Structure 1
Amino acid sequence: MQGLTPPERPASPPRRRRACIPCTNAKARCNFTDLDGGPDDAVCESRVASLEDRLDALTTAIEAQNALTSRSLGIGGSSNPSLIPGLTHAQSPAQAQSPVVPATSSPASSTSASRLSPAAPRQGSTSWPSSKPSVQPPPMGLSWPQAERILAIYRDICLYNFPFVWIPGHMTAQELCESKPCLFRAVMLSSAPLPVARLKKMKRNVIAYISQRMLVEEERSLDVLQGLLIVIAWADLQSLYDQQITNLTYLATGYAHNLGITKIPRELLKQIGMDNAPDDVRAAKDINVPKAPSSDEMRAFLGVYYLLSINSGQFGRNTTMRSQYVDFCADALAQAGEYPSDFLLQQVVRLMQIEDRISEFFGSANDTARGRPLLFLVDENVTTLRAELDSILESLTYTELAKRLPHCSPDQIDHFARYFDLTRQYLLVRLYEPATYLGDLPENSVEPGGRHQYRATALQNCLVAANAFFETVTNVPATSARFQALAAPGQTGFVMVICSRLLVVDAPDWDAAAARRILDFSDFLAKIIGRLQVAEERRKVNVEHFVRETRVLGVTQEEMDEPGRYAGTSQKTAYIKAWYENRLRQMDEAAAAGGHAAAPLSSEPMYIEERLLGRPWYRLAGSAGPRWFVGLLEGSAWNFDDVQMSNQTN
């Protein structure tokens, strides 16, 4: 027994190791193998460690793929190797196009690679350290340099002429596009010196975009209204007799009502004891009317009022937005003086209010729905409105404007002074124009010798105002015609038509021959034709410079040669000039023969049949000559710009 050795004691099972720190944090089980070290080892070959290795390898591969993409984009956009991102002077383009994707080998290699270059953040991270998002090009086929230049043109010339939408001077084209896409598109359309064909396409696209956001998406945003106002005022729709103008004007009016910016704020109504006024928008639309409207909202509201008043006055309709709130907004903006143009905005609104009152008192030549007073009954209103108009214009002389607008250049001050003077003369023509169609004193008047006194005096005042208007128009630089808002072409056309009445009308106590000696209408028409031709040539030069300097692609010579609106207006003015001279020649021949004017020949474009107490003012000789067409209403002597150029006889 003593020689026998005791059997060997079986080995104890391996002691369970403590979990390593990564597995403990991940609440995972350690994977021990036979190759593991002793109990003092702190790290095991676990699933977490394996996952980290794979993530490091994937991160390195993604980095390499991003570098490859950026280099290929740089090569496609520039032929200069120095402009390729990531290409050093020691590398060649061929080497840059063939980056080596590192292999997913071992944790050590991955760790060393991560030390050489920072790893990209994993999914869920907030930022990428090196790559920048690509800048999207602006809409309508423009580039950002082109957009910046167009925005500068708008600020320099157009902004003050329509002060109802203000764009801060520090705002870039890209910032404007991101914050107000509708306004950006409208500005690009209004001021882009591009061929006419391209502007027509842009106009369709802009109107479609605004309609999509307004009507289809039912978006309620001030940006949409501001863009629509710019389109109405500037976007080559400056003929008031384009039916699209009326559609867009009333669309803007309804949209402004839905925005809740056309009524006095509730807080102000409470102050004056009228807080129980009914709302003009449905409460179900969840529209929160602010306690105090912003300055941009007040400008937009006044812009809607201004455009609606122009449209209503031309077509003999009542303005629906004339209210005390117009005065409140205009005065508040002028007193605050946030922008330099707010003073001009206040004066423009005040002049438009006088024009509204003229239409309210006298109606218009194309307003057949309301009865008209006798001429002598409106004399008191004429005196009152004339005094108010003179009072407003006293603060709008060159000297006063220079004091009010010290930041503006002398050329800008001169432009504003001429504009307000033109508006004054136009309003005087509007003020005395009813003498061409209102009834005379009754037969049993207590003033037997004064039955025609009012009419002759009014016609004389109208002639003087028209003569002053044309004197100012023909002295304004021809290039300024491009940057006249909606009202200016309508004013010129209206005064031209009224002159054609004054110089051929046969009325008691009115000497038409003496009137023609005072106002040389044919000479003024010749000057206006020359101005329009100069404006058209200047437009073509500006388009050529812009296309060449900004490298507009795809412009054909046919597009460059397409005539613009000024060429068409010049032809129509020449047509009216020929008609007027032909009419005078017939009158002279009839006077020499000792009789009345002979009936017009069938080849005469058009002649006037003036009847002070009857209508129509104009009638056509067969189907020959131009047709005075006023959109929804015909037979009125208000239109000039849309004269049809047909001169064919049956």
Structure 2
Amino acid sequence: MEDSTSGTRIPKACLTCAKAKVRCEPEVGGVDGICKRCHRLNKPCGFQTPGAHRRKTAPSLQSSEVSALEAKLDRMVALLAASDRSKDLSNASLSPGPAPSAPCSEDMHVPSEQEGQRFISIFINKMLPLFPFVPIPSQMTADQLRREKPFLYRNIVMVASQDAQRHRQSAQSIMQHVAEHIVLRGEHNIDLLQGLLVHIAWYITISRLPRPSLDASSENDFGAKPFRKISSQLDVLLHLATAQLSSLNLNQSVASLRNLNRPLSYMKAVDLHPNQIPERTLEERRAYLGCYYVSVILSLCVREVDTPRFSRYTDECCEALQEALEYPTDAFLVHLVKIMRLGQKIHYTVSANEMTYPVTLDPFLGMTIKSYQAELQELRSAYAPDHPGSEMILYRVALGINPASACADLPVTQLDLLFNLLEANKTFFLNFYSIPSSLLPILPFTVYCQFGVSMMTLSRLILYEGERVGWDPDYTRRTVDFDSTADVILQKLDEARAFLSSDVAERPEIFHRLVTRMQVMKDLHRKRLEAQAKANLEAPQEPLDFSFIFNLPTDAFFPYGDYATASALPEAPNYY
């Protein structure tokens, strides 16, 4: 009912019935207008205030739309203002996303077209043959690569440059890009995957921190400063690259994806049926094999990481590349992957624990080693260049064999294994010496990891006391001298300084780092020799355990901390 004068709706139900949401009927002939329900239940019955049923009016649709448009306009104005500011700092942008807040970013140091082309030429001619998993077509220009694959381009510019200042600025900007686009936004594409692979491959040779200034307070006695591990950023980058593989489903064959009972998430997003999944491109296969290769290298030479096992799909990728040979480096790529496959097999079946537990040389171990020797010979005959990395992994087991465990009629003897290990070590250093000095500052971390393992293995061979099995440590010193080997590397590094471009403002940190590491290694080896000689002259005692220094990860020899002298070495047992 509505009031004719004011237009206000007058409620019919009493307060009690309205609250109970029941029908309110007036009592016919009753007193004081009490309704039937209130009279029956003996409840108070009162009238509602006129207008009580009026609903609160929501803001009009037009006003809310106007507010949303005004807010959107404000955001667009802010973005345009930010874009104008970034254009003042840089003439071009290498990748999408907001400009980094840090004052020194890659966008502030975009190379010119001519300079970018020079960096790509360095990468193709000098760096790609050592890590052939991200080839660039020779006819591709710098501008074309920058537009098609901006993240890969930025990483190539960083690793091909020999200026430490550019290294630091580029690394900071690239890591900001990784954090925003991969970690926060969850983006995944082949450009990000290839850029991560390039970044990982030359992680060691990139200057990331300012060169430390050491004072007298840092000069302490040997072992006084505790060993400080470097950042695990390399592991993080490797995990991100593996995650890119998984997100792009490049770690599985197309046949296995088509056999899935349910479509993958990315198939739903693009409305793609499993049967419509395209075949793998050679570029995608190389990226997958590159992740496999660096994972195995890191696991065998530095520390244990989650490493994908060699599968039928891995073999399928190798066969596809070997058949196509799209680039001249594809044959070497397949050879590297097969070598790492064999090294992985050897590690898990023969030498996984040789650094920690004594190994028993029995007929089974002897036959296993002979089998792997045959595989190594087959790989060597299939591809000319020697690659003794897997040989050292295979023969390194000799250093952990308990001499008392040898028995008669074995396929191999401990002396044979020690001799083969020395020859493999010697071959590695001869190959390393053959690398032009100009390439030393831009070698990938995969080469330096194997170099560190070879140096530690050589030191163990020289220190190994194997008179019981007929091993002569003096023969080892005459074959490959430790100090002379380190001095050759230092000489080649000194020669490499002459090949630096004249416009380089600051030499890469690798020059300072390698010199420091070589001196650290020489001091360590000398102290071990002195301790061993002193122990042999004194009364018989328990054999000295030198394994702690050889079990150190390669990070101990190529860190990014303030290690300048042997005073920064890890704390050692007081043997002397």
RMSD over equivalenced CA pairs, Å: 3.6
Q: Which residue of 1 aligns with 2:394?
A: 431
Q: Which residue of 1 aligns with 2:193?
A: 225
* TM-score with structure 1 setting the length: 0.60
Superposition deviation, residue 506 in structure 1: 1.9
Q: Which residue of 2 aligns with 1:408?
A: none
C-alpha spacing 1:466/1:502, structure 2 compared with 1 (3 Å): same
Q: Which residue of 1 aligns with 2:278?
A: 291
Superposition deviation, residue 241 in structure 1: 7.0
Q: Which residue of 2 aligns with 1:259?
A: 248
Alignment of 1:62-211 (within 5 A): 136=92, 139-141=107-109, 142-194=111-163, 196-211=164-179
Alpha-carbon distance in structure 1 between the residues aligned to 2:419 and 2:289: 35
Q: Is the 8 A contact 1:220 1:259 kept in 2?
A: yes
Superposition deviation, residue 590 in structure 1: 7.0
Superposition deviation, residue 183 in structure 1: 0.7
Please state if 1:573 is matched with 2:503.
no
Alpha-carbon distance in structure 2 between the residues aligned to 1:198 and 1:319: 32
Please state if 1:375 is matched with 2:343.
no
| Alignment counterpart, residue 470 of structure 1, candidates 416, 429, 435 | 429
| Alignment counterpart, residue 359 of structure 1, candidates 319, 324, 347 | 347
Q: Which residue of 1 aligns with 2:415?
A: 456
Alpha-carbon distance in structure 1 between the residues aligned to 2:171 and 2:372: 39
Alpha-carbon distance in structure 1 between the residues aligned to 2:180 and 2:240: 13
Alpha-carbon distance in structure 1 between the residues aligned to 2:141 and 2:474: 58
Please state if 1:479 is matched with 2:396.
no
Q: Which residue of 2 aligns with 1:647?
A: 567
Superposition deviation, residue 344 in structure 1: 1.8
C-alpha spacing 1:150/1:287, structure 2 compared with 1 (3 Å): farther
| Pairs aligned (count) | 437
C-alpha spacing 1:282/1:375, structure 2 compared with 1 (3 Å): farther
Matching residue's letter, 1:575: V
Alpha-carbon distance in structure 2 between the residues aligned to 1:648 and 1:155: 38
SS in 2 for 1:503: helix
Matching residue's letter, 2:342: I
Q: Is the 8 A contact 1:232 1:245 kept in 2?
A: yes
Alpha-carbon distance in structure 2 between the residues aligned to 1:337 and 1:167: 14
Note the residue ranges of structure 2 that are not aligned, 5 or more in a row: 1-89, 95-106, 208-228, 572-576
Superposition deviation, residue 145 in structure 1: 2.0
SS in 2 for 1:261: coil
Q: Is the 8 A contact 2:523 2:566 kept in 1?
A: no
| Alignment counterpart, residue 350 of structure 1, candidates 322, 338, 343 | 338
Alpha-carbon distance in structure 1 between the residues aligned to 2:267 and 2:473: 60
Alpha-carbon distance in structure 1 between the residues aligned to 2:476 and 2:411: 17
Q: Is the 8 A contact 2:461 2:476 kept in 1?
A: yes
Superposition deviation, residue 534 in structure 1: 2.4
Larger mean CA deviation between 430-439 and 572-581 belongs to 572-581
Alpha-carbon distance in structure 2 between the residues aligned to 1:392 and 1:221: 34
Superposition deviation, residue 538 in structure 1: 3.4
Superposition deviation, residue 287 in structure 1: 8.6
Matching residue's letter, 2:557: F
After superposition, the C-alpha distances for 1:299-333 in whole angstroms (9 at most, x for unaligned) are: 11111111111122232356224211111011101
After superposition, the C-alpha distances for 1:69-89 in whole angstroms (9 at most, x for unaligned) are: xxxxxxxxxxxxxxxxxxxxx
Q: Which residue of 1 aligns with 2:202?
A: 234
Alpha-carbon distance in structure 2 between the residues aligned to 1:587 and 1:385: 34
SS in 2 for 1:375: coil
Q: Is the 8 A contact 1:238 1:485 kept in 2?
A: no
Alpha-carbon distance in structure 1 between the residues aligned to 2:358 and 2:530: 35
| Alignment counterpart, residue 525 of structure 1, candidates 474, 486, 492 | 486
Q: Which residue of 2 aligns with 1:334?
A: 322
Alpha-carbon distance in structure 2 between the residues aligned to 1:242 and 1:471: 32
Q: Which residue of 2 aligns with 1:617?
A: 547
Superposition deviation, residue 577 in structure 1: 2.0
C-alpha spacing 1:475/1:261, structure 2 compared with 1 (3 Å): closer
Please state if 1:387 is matched with 2:350.
no
Superposition deviation, residue 213 in structure 1: 1.8
Q: Is the 8 A contact 2:123 2:160 kept in 1?
A: yes
Superposition deviation, residue 452 in structure 1: 13
Q: Is the 8 A contact 1:501 1:610 kept in 2?
A: no
Matching residue's letter, 1:173: A
After superposition, the C-alpha distances for 1:583-614 in whole angstroms (9 at most, x for unaligned) are: 445656776xx546999xxxxxxxxx754xxx
Q: Which residue of 1 aligns with 2:237?
A: 248
* TM-score with structure 2 setting the length: 0.67
Q: Is the 8 A contact 1:260 1:281 kept in 2?
A: no
Alpha-carbon distance in structure 2 between the residues aligned to 1:372 and 1:583: 21
Superposition deviation, residue 363 in structure 1: 4.3
Q: Is the 8 A contact 1:441 1:452 kept in 2?
A: no
Note the residue ranges of structure 1 that are not aligned, 5 or more in a row: 1-133, 398-419, 548-558, 600-608, 620-626, 631-636
Superposition deviation, residue 214 in structure 1: 1.6
Higher CA-based Rg: 1
C-alpha spacing 1:438/1:259, structure 2 compared with 1 (3 Å): farther
C-alpha spacing 1:347/1:169, structure 2 compared with 1 (3 Å): same
Q: Is the 8 A contact 2:133 2:290 kept in 1?
A: yes
